[in-house]
Amino acid sequence: MSARVTRTVSSPAGRSLASSRVRGNLVPQDKGAIVLDIGHVHTKLGVSGEPAPRYIVKSEVLMKPYGEILNVWDDKYINREELYLILCRFLHKVFLEYLIINPREYRIVIIESIVSPLNFRNTLAKALFIHFSVPHVCFLPHPSACLFSLGSSTALLIDIGLKETSIVPVFEGVSLIRSIMQTTTSTSSLHSSLQLLLHEHCQVKNIANGDIHPLSDNKDLELTSSTLSNIIMQTCFVRSLDFGDATPPDVCFPINAQFSLIISGLVRCHVADILFEGCDGDVSLPISLVESLLLCPIDCRSQLCENIVVVGGSASLPGLNYRLLEEIRLLCGNSRYQCLDALKFKFHELHSHPNYTAWQGASIIGAVESAILERSITKEDFKLLDYHLPDWMSCNSQNWGSLQQVSPQKIPSSQPGKVIQTIY
């Protein structure tokens, strides 16, 4: 008689969950929806109705035929047939290694960017329907998912991603497409700024003998993107405009078992300045925000300014919202932006970590079965559409094959007494 083995798995979302690796699976037997947010760096995955994702894993997979680890968003394969194999292998790892489920028995909710490449979303749907035979797939726009977790239908969403930052105004559930602004000033800009400052002001300490020497003298010590991200999140902050010449204390950050970095206080407080200065000839975050507001209808601006939401991995930097507010007020003194001077700018306090706010909103939607089914596409519909997904912005139901145009629905929010109206 075999014993049931149960162990505790610690998830990156900060929770622990007891799971059986021998019998059963990680998902409750009520057959909820599986929620996936496939980002350029990390993928958030879990079950609908839960406040945080079960796992946050890298969006990459080992492909034995190619002999290398590939990112699912690799530009080299994004428009090629190999993308189907990469996504199948990645989803196999998600369903069978992490969640331990039979995907044929669960609805799938995919959080997608509104500027996601068509080939990627079509190939992803093909992998889910053809290879895994899932019954329903719901592609949920990222802005709508973020707003569900806040219980709001109007917001000016700032999404700080790896390669770009997007400013998306959403008014009464409708994304104002013509007012969207994008800038390359993003998390990768922070990484470049940090690497430059570290080589100028940082020292390396040998843990074994205590020797200290400049980082620029150590050519063999490689700082990966993951290491740079950890340094930013654990040691750096955004200084206010009235911070002056004050310098915070230096900190020691371990790199490996042999070396640690002595990070100067100058580096800690100045690394985020790139977000407010712009990089590579592109505009800064504050300028992108006010330019987006200028493109919005005048009668929408007041509500958008009072509902600013900052999400993304770098959104958790201490002091970011306050510095952003200071920069916006300075810009309003410019003649070009004087029409915004009378508006009040307010930031939402998030109910989750900024890195998985969209996942939490999709989890709320996924818990309402009727909301998912009305917005889902089935395998039969996908075949009728010749294996091409309809555009989420389309309002012409005649072009959707057997899909029906859905009317706005009211979904209960996480706060009692309030409802969220979603309009696609």
Quickly tell me which residue has 């149960």 as its tokens.
6
Q: What mean pLDDT comes out for the span 145-159?
A: 94
- Indicate if 175 and 58 belong to the same structural domain: no
Say whether pTM exceeds 0.75: yes
The pLDDT value recorded for residue 399 is 40
- Indicate if 60 and 131 belong to the same structural domain: yes
The predicted-structure confidence for 247-272, as pLDDT tens digits, reads as follows 899 999 999 888 899 999 999 999 99
Q: Which domain covers residue 97, as residue numbers? A: 6-147+355-422
Q: What does the mean pLDDT of the chain come to?
A: 84
Q: What mean pLDDT comes out for the span 290-308?
A: 96
C-alpha closest to that of 175 among 152, 156, 158, 160: 156
pLDDT band at residue 114 under the 50/70/90 scheme: confident
The C-alpha R_g of the chain, in whole angstroms, comes to 23
Residue 391 has pLDDT above 80, yes or no: no
How far apart are the two ends of the chain, measured CA to CA in Å? 54
- Indicate if 229 and 327 belong to the same structural domain: no
The pLDDT value recorded for residue 90 is 97
Please state the domain count of the chain: 3
- Indicate if 263 and 388 belong to the same structural domain: no
Count of other CB atoms within 10 angstroms of residue 211: 10
The pLDDT value recorded for residue 392 is 59
347, 369, 386 — which closes off a domain? 347
- Indicate if 11 and 27 belong to the same structural domain: yes
- Indicate if 15 and 117 belong to the same structural domain: yes
pLDDT band at residue 385 under the 50/70/90 scheme: confident
What percent of the chain is modeled with pLDDT above 70? 85
Sign for the CA dihedral angle at 95, 98, 102, 107 comes to: negative
The pLDDT value recorded for residue 15 is 41
Helix-strand-coil split of the chain, %, nearest 5: 40, 20, 40
**Residue 224 and residue 176: Cα distance in Å, rounded?**
37
